[in-house]
Amino acid sequence: MNPPAQFDFGTELITIMAALMLVIQLLLVPQRMLLTGIRLFAIQSFLLAAIAAVVAYYYNAGHVYVVVALTVAGKVIFLPWFLSRLVRRIGIQQEIEPLFGAPTALMICGGLTLLGCLVARPFASAEKLGSNTLAIALALLLTGLFLMINGRKAITQVLALLTIENGVMLSAIALTTYGMPLVVELGIFFDVLVAVMVLGILVYRIRENFSSMDTRKLNQLKG
């Protein structure tokens, strides 16, 4: 039985927004300005919320609307504001010495994206809304891990952690009919929220004690 045309439109819409999430992730790779990176994360999170809203509408899943509202409030508004305020307060505006240069980092992320596509291929299905976004979700996870390794500044690593969480939420949409159970989604959301706030305090303390956000400075701490 062929899916209805309205279902096809929803699938195409989700695919386009998920692809835009991946484009933003790749824009984060060579990005050195921290405030610009924070804004890109906010846009990526808005696209994730829009994807969840489409899924909630087609499956009439009321609890997913709660996740949409929390994503917009937390990851589109509050966390970008919190991180932007932190960056302005500590006075360090950009990532200076990543582990890999921009061309090399983009090539590595391209390879990780291809790996995500290969792993997700057996799970692709045209019968379930959003299932074709699993490859993008895996790419977000893998490139987010790479961003954590490649970045020297603590804020960059916080942003990488948040993009990984976006990948987890997108994979939940791709693998299940309408996302994970609400209690699990809320648990992940608040865990990430608390983790980012704690990391924000840690970033400020690193800056205060070492006049830098370079996490390599933590090697100077003695027990």
CB contact at 8 A, 129 and 14: yes
**Residue 31, C-beta contacts closer than 8 angstroms, at least 6 positions apart:** 37, 40, 95
Share of the chain above pLDDT 90, in %: 19
Residues 27, 33, 37, 40, CA torsion sign: negative
CB contact at 8 A, 179 and 64: yes
pLDDT at 65: 85
pLDDT at 1: 42
Residue 216 has pLDDT above 60, yes or no: no
Share of the chain above pLDDT 70, in %: 68
CB contact at 8 A, 155 and 204: no
pLDDT at 2: 44
**Average pLDDT of the chain?**
77
More confident residue, 34 or 7: 34
Q: What mean pLDDT is predicted for residues 114-120?
A: 87
pTM: 0.80
